[in-house]
Amino acid sequence: MTQRWLNGIAVAADGNRACLYGDGVFETMRLTAGRIAFWSHHWLRLQTGLRRLGFPDLSEQALMSALAPALVEDQDAVLRVSVSRDGLRGYRYSHDANFIIDVQRSSLPTTIWHGQSLKVRWCQTRWAQQPLLAGIKHLNRLEQVLARSEWTDSSIAEGLVCDTQGQVISGTMSALLLRFGETVLAADISQTGIDSVARRVVLDALPSMGYEVQVQVLSKKDVLMADELLLMNVVQGIGSVASCDGVSFSDARLAQTLFPWWQDKLMTN
């Protein structure tokens, strides 16, 4: 028998493996006028994560039923859905475990990056390489917690993070794109990092805007030599990097094109 106490008070034992082991995935989504922006991309990434972790198939209908109470008509908000499973203690999971779907709705952040020039810094924390987990949004975010704890200066919007091999991957909570002339570079995330929905949407659109897209290993030198840096996620939108640890970036040509384009995409995807 398992017994449990919270702050010294006896409570029922909780078999949610999300809390015990970070066993599950999540999506943080933008609710715009009562609808989830970029839903098909979120659903695809969530399915990919569940398969990678050995979960049984979850139907889109079941997930939408769990989300339904949070879809308030004509409201803009942030939705987070976490999908985990129940089970007994121990790392081994049961193949007939039940899904646990946790949905939270919150207000949009008071400060939004979209359309803004951002000041960023380099982080000392590194993303560990683990190809089995690369790309998915699993529930263990300790690396992100450590990276974000490195600064308290409110003028710094984001920190840029390399992996343990020194390759530039992303921001602590955002995807990073580099522009050199008419070419846009994105980090190779086959070993670590998250397959950002915002990044995927933007990269898919860039060829029609006249830009060539290359996914490759990125170095700090690449970042510092770029004509333009952009950061993005689905909640914050797209921000243009103005400076990184004292290095300035004055060319925001692509960002100026993407700012109004993104606002339209929020309402139509």
Please report the pLDDT score of residue 99 as a whole number: 95
Per-residue pLDDT of the chain in tens (269 residues, 90 and over written 9): 678 888 888 988 888 899 889 999 999 999 998 899 999 999 999 999 999 999 999 999 999 999 999 998 778 999 999 999 998 788 999 988 999 999 999 999 999 999 999 999 999 999 999 999 999 999 999 999 999 999 999 999 999 999 999 999 999 999 999 999 999 999 999 999 999 999 999 999 999 999 999 999 999 999 999 999 999 999 999 999 999 999 999 999 999 999 999 999 998 88
Please report the pLDDT score of residue 5 as a whole number: 85
The pair of three-digit structure tokens given for residue 167, joined into one six-digit string: 């390759």
Please report the pLDDT score of residue 34 as a whole number: 87
Please report the pLDDT score of residue 232 as a whole number: 98
CA–CA distance, 224 with 221 (Å, rounded to integer): 5
User: Looking at the domain that runs over 4-106, which CATH code has it been given?
Assistant: 3.30.470.10
pTM of the model: 0.94
- Same fold: 4-106 with 117-268: no
Please report the pLDDT score of residue 1 as a whole number: 67
Please report the pLDDT score of residue 83 as a whole number: 98
What CATH class is the domain 117-268? alpha beta
Domain spans of the chain, in order of start = 4-106, 117-268
The pair of three-digit structure tokens given for residue 240, joined into one six-digit string: 């243009």
